[in-house]
Chain A
Amino acid sequence: MTSQKLDALVDGVCRGESALIAETLGRVEDTRPEALPQQRTLLGRLENETVPEHGVVGLTGPPGVGKSTLAAALIRHWVDEGLSVGMVAVDPTSRRSGGALLGDRARLRPKPDERVFIRSMATHDQLGGLAPATRAAVVVLRAAFNWTLVETVGVGQSEVDVETVADSVVLVLQPGSGDTLQFMKAGILEIPDVLVVNKWDLGALAQSTRADLESILSIAPGSRPEWSPPVLGVSAQTGEGVAKLAAALREHRSYLEGSKELSRRRCTSRVAWAMELFSLRYGTYGLERLGGPEATRSLATEISGTALDVFSELATRAGLPA
């Protein structure tokens, strides 16, 4: 890639030009080893570009709770406020065929004349409910749009993984699903920054679900004492509560910026991404060469630069091709 091309892509992304954003995403999704150097340059440049008033929101929760419908309502709200939105929507890959149906667009139906950009991705072999290129795509989109949304597939370890890609995690549940107890057991309620009881129009059942969640949270509060996650009732269908959710996200954003939390999260995210790349490429063998997973992780934490820089440094130190 020539430096003119690089400049053109970076400028195009920052100006929010669809065609160039799409091309950049195509380049960072490329899994061929020879694509890595240009990805490093590209993402390195974009890493430091941010749009004023921006944030990365992860939407997670079990299948069928209405995450896509909620995403659509949230996007509509932001667009009405004059803000732009980028989104990564993740769908599962069929293990047998390797193919995937990327169906979220059908529910979101963005209008061509709005500043909304949606990229659908499949999980491939990834277990965590994200696609391999999700992290890179987030770097690209957050340089282009006010808000970046990531919607996980909602199975497996989604809740855990999304924490390492989003600044604000929204856990979406539906009334009376009986999930609350399971979530409490799994310790998952420690993760979200905002909880949403969707399908609020179902009435009493929804209200009792919210009450359950609130009482669980009062016994087991989130991991950060200075932010107590709100539990919001939202009906993506009727639009009720969407404005409150948007307000909560903005508030969480100010909290992150006003504390060390944002840089802590970005650091966690970078390390997780570098570890993911390294394990994917060199597996247990590579990790052993650096003294095991824990040693590798603390080593990664000390290295500066983007996730791809960290990956290269780890590889070099392990005496493996970067």
Chain B
Amino acid sequence: MADRPWIFRTYSGHTSAAASNRLYRTNLASGQTGLSIAFDLPTQTGYDADHSLARGEVGKVGVPIGSIEDMQTLLDEIPLQHMNTSMTINATAAWLLALYIALAERTGVERKALQGTTQNDLTKEYLSRGTYIFPPEASLRLTTDIIEYSVDEVPKWNPINICSYHLQEVGATPVQELAFALANAISVLDAIEVPKEKLPYVFGRISFFCNSGVRFIEEMCKMRAFTRMWDQIGRERYGVDDPALRRFRYGVQVNSLGLTEVQPENNIPRIIFSTLGATASKNARARSIQLPAWNEALGLPRPWDQQWALRIQQILAYETDLLEYPDLFEGSTVIEQKVAELEAGAWEEIQRILDMGGAVAAVESGYMKRALVESNAARLAAIEAHERIWVGVNRYQESEPSPLTRDGAGGVLLHDSRAQREQIERLQAHRIRRDASEVKAALRALHDGVSNGQNVMPLSIRCAHAGVTTGEWANTLREIFGEYRAPTGVESPLQLRSGDETVAEVRRRVAEISGRLGRRIKILIGKPGLDGHSSGAEQIAIFARDSGLEVVYEGIRLTPEEIVNSAQQEGVHLIGLSILSGSHLELVPAILERISVPLIVGGIIPEEDAEKLRAQGVSAVYTPRDYDIHRVIREMVEIAARAHGVD
């Protein structure tokens, strides 16, 4: 019998609840079968739109949701009882789910009818995505609160989506992806408190969100390994007898790390091959798929770009004969051998993590982060040394002019600069409209209840109905749990490309300039704003250290004032900023105007913006096309030398 197609999703949301609602309705009309909501960074990290850290970030990488009013606008005329909604939300997952449930209650839809998922996986936030707020123990408690609540109250909801996706995006090998995700799932399951007979059912509600890269044979084997290992964990560790509850259910977003800014049309074949990794094997096929847009490395995709991504899925599911066959790889000794090899590596790594005390301990000690930073450095060093071919980047760079990127802003939707102001106006109007005494009472109940160990969900739903804002909800929990800074992973003693002449040359030049300066060249790598994608900053930091520089790196989520303060106290010769949220035009001037140290910027920065930044005094702008990191470091050294008159 032919297999049913997976759920087609497009990860989207931007500017405002109203604009995103229009987009969702268009996408649903063109055959998309589920929603995948992208929230902006203030919503993900629990700040209201008028908070100083939200500057430049409102409506940028997703939709701003400040209260139940925004949630209502976002889902206006979308029937919740028929919708399957995926929310990419973590630190504030309990809050967004509470808003969703409160909205359902307001519109007369039963909780039990709600379907979808909250990502709710903080481990990968500490390791990769960076939108955590609270310390690991507190986060785990919120995660399990959501799971324990959903099991009874919202039984069709997938309360957690354990993510291996983001691990690959920061360089995880397939074995690390398997091991870290499964160890993470074990740490969550071990922390759940439900009656013993309910545990198999809870196990069955755990779903995953995986990555599939362009090495699609290995990726498919990884999915098969996931399927088998999860089944074994269910059987052996948690005594789940029903095979249906032990099924490895997962969604996929295919790899973005391999997508290029140069010759962006090549991303379409990359996306197609990557999709095969998650679909080719019937026994390990994804339940839902979202594909990135071909021009994602250039900026925000337009509706047409998203449509193209959706069409790839539709062609694969409806035109090709993929779904007409049973599993194609059952009995293949080659595949079996590869799967077994991945499994063995992953079991060994899982055991190592469990011996350390589990995933929480391996996050807190920095073990996992360091391992990922090392894998990523090795990956980048291989690309730099041309051991790994990347078409259009380190090989076959020549290209005819592309008609696709000929016009205007390289084919990207420019951000609406009014978004923040309008969102703040809506928020302030909402604060006036609501019943202040009920807000106060609901927040007090939240504070007291969570402090006393009550489940966060019912308390949050009450807050949602009362009109509490995202920032108020998060601040209440910050008072209880405090805020956390995750290990940066850059202190790894890893040596890169030792013995290589290029590296030796950079080091000689660094020593020479340092001698003339009277001390080692010292730089500060900063990540301003709420964007938590720190992988680029981390790699620059460790490549710079490896080139002989002294590097101050403070991790993510810094205000411009903090960066300036550090640069001044440390007496650095150069500042490097990494910004991937697209907020460079807001954040960079705030630093430039406060300090006279040479400054370089890296990120997803369109050429027009790069020109503006250079005109304002930025010494150099780097984008993902600058794959040769040692070359970047060499340029940084020369910039510092020139600025201090010792070149």
Q: Which residues of A contact B (CB under 8 A)?
A: 18-19, 21-23, 25-26, 29-32, 35, 94, 96-103, 105-107, 109-112, 117-120, 122, 124, 133
24 pairs across A/B with beta carbons < 8 Å? A25-B571, A32-B515, A94-B493, A94-B545, A98-B507, A98-B520, A99-B510, A99-B545, A99-B547, A99-B551, A101-B545, A101-B553, A102-B522, A102-B552, A102-B570, A103-B553, A105-B552, A105-B570, A106-B485, A106-B553, A109-B485, A112-B562, A117-B569, A122-B550
Residues on A with C-beta less than 8 A from B554 are 105-106, 109
Q: Does B565 contact A (CB under 8 A)?
A: yes
Q: Nearest chain-A residue to B522 (Cβ)?
A: A102
Q: Nearest chain-B residue to A118 (Cβ)?
A: B569
Q: Nearest chain-A residue to B543 (Cβ)?
A: A99
A133 to B520, CA, bound (A): 12
Question: Given A19-B568, A29-B518, A32-B518 in contact, is the A106-B555 Cβ separation under 8 Å?
Answer: yes
A102 to B569, CA, bound (A): 13
A168 to B510, CA, bound (A): 37
Residues on A with C-beta less than 8 A from B510 are 98-99
Q: Nearest chain-B residue to A24 (Cβ)?
A: B571
Q: Nearest chain-A residue to B486 (Cβ)?
A: A106
A105 to B558, CA, bound (A): 12
B532-580 contacts to A (CB < 8 Å): 541-542, 544-555, 559, 561-562, 564-566, 568-571
Q: Does B322 contact A (CB under 8 A)?
A: no
Residues on B with C-beta less than 8 A from A23 are 571
Could you tell me if A31 and B491 are in contact, using CB atoms closer than 8 angstroms? no
Chain B interface size, under 10 / 10 to 19 / 20 to 34 / 35 or more: 35 or more
Q: Smallest Cβ distance from B216 to chain A, in angstroms? A: 36
Residues on B with C-beta less than 8 A from A101 are 490-491, 541-542, 545, 551, 553
A32 to B312, CA, bound (A): 63
Question: Given A94-B546, A103-B490 in contact, is the A31-B518 Cβ separation under 8 Å?
Answer: yes
Could you tell me if A22 and B565 are in contact, using CB atoms closer than 8 angstroms? no
Could you tell me if B550 and A99 are in contact, using CB atoms closer than 8 angstroms? yes
Q: Does B433 contact A (CB under 8 A)?
A: no
Q: Smallest Cβ distance from A30 to chain B, in angstroms? A: 4
Question: Given A31-B519, A106-B488 in contact, is the A99-B544 Cβ separation under 8 Å?
Answer: yes
A32 to B547, CA, bound (A): 22
Residues on A with C-beta less than 8 A from B495 are 96
Could you tell me if B518 and A99 are in contact, using CB atoms closer than 8 angstroms? no
Q: Smallest Cβ distance from A96 to chain B, in angstroms? A: 6
Residues on A with C-beta less than 8 A from B542 are 101
Could you tell me if A112 and B564 are in contact, using CB atoms closer than 8 angstroms? yes
B482-507 contacts to A (CB < 8 Å): 485, 488, 490-491, 493, 495, 498, 507
Q: Which residues of B contact A (CB under 8 A)?
A: 485, 488, 490-491, 493, 495, 498, 507, 510-511, 515, 518-520, 522, 541-542, 544-555, 559, 561-562, 564-566, 568-571
Could you tell me if A102 and B571 are in contact, using CB atoms closer than 8 angstroms? no
Our pick among A26, A94, A107 for the contact of B571 (Cβ within 8 Å) is A26
A111 to B562, CA, bound (A): 7
Residues on A with C-beta less than 8 A from B520 are 98-100, 122, 124
Q: Nearest chain-B residue to A111 (Cβ)?
A: B562
Q: Smallest Cβ distance from A220 to chain B, in angstroms? A: 33
Could you tell me if B552 and A120 are in contact, using CB atoms closer than 8 angstroms? yes
A21 to B498, CA, bound (A): 38
Residues on B with C-beta less than 8 A from A120 are 552, 570
Question: Given A30-B518, A106-B553 in contact, is the A98-B485 Cβ separation under 8 Å?
Answer: no
A97 to B561, CA, bound (A): 31
Question: Given A97-B546, A103-B491, A118-B570, list of 16 further CB < 8 A pairs?
Answer: A18-B565, A22-B571, A97-B547, A99-B546, A99-B551, A100-B550, A101-B545, A102-B553, A103-B553, A106-B485, A107-B485, A112-B559, A112-B561, A119-B569, A122-B520, A122-B550
Could you tell me if B551 and A119 are in contact, using CB atoms closer than 8 angstroms? no
Our pick among B541, B548, B566 for the contact of A98 (Cβ within 8 Å) is B548
A112 to B564, CA, bound (A): 9
A100 to B519, CA, bound (A): 13
Q: Nearest chain-B residue to A105 (Cβ)?
A: B554
Residues on B with C-beta less than 8 A from A25 are 571
Residues on B with C-beta less than 8 A from A21 are 569
Closest 6 CB pairs of A and B: A30-B518, A112-B565, A99-B545, A98-B548, A99-B548, A32-B518
Could you tell me if B519 and A30 are in contact, using CB atoms closer than 8 angstroms? yes
Residues on B with C-beta less than 8 A from A22 are 568-571
A26 to B569, CA, bound (A): 10
Residues on B with C-beta less than 8 A from A118 are 569-570
Residues on B with C-beta less than 8 A from A29 are 518-519, 571
A22 to B522, CA, bound (A): 13
Could you tell me if B546 and A102 are in contact, using CB atoms closer than 8 angstroms? no
Our pick among A30, A105, A107 for the contact of B566 (Cβ within 8 Å) is A105
Residues on A with C-beta less than 8 A from B545 are 94, 97, 99-101
Could you tell me if A102 and B519 are in contact, using CB atoms closer than 8 angstroms? no
Residues on A with C-beta less than 8 A from B569 are 18, 21-22, 117-119
A101 to B493, CA, bound (A): 10
A98 to B511, CA, bound (A): 8
A243 to B559, CA, bound (A): 30
Q: Nearest chain-A residue to B558 (Cβ)?
A: A109
Could you tell me if B549 and A103 are in contact, using CB atoms closer than 8 angstroms? no
Q: Smallest Cβ distance from B242 to chain A, in angstroms? A: 41
Question: Given A94-B545, A97-B545, A97-B548 in contact, is the A119-B565 Cβ separation under 8 Å?
Answer: no
Could you tell me if A119 and B544 are in contact, using CB atoms closer than 8 angstroms? no
Residues on A with C-beta less than 8 A from B518 are 29-32, 35
Residues on B with C-beta less than 8 A from A106 are 485, 488, 553-555
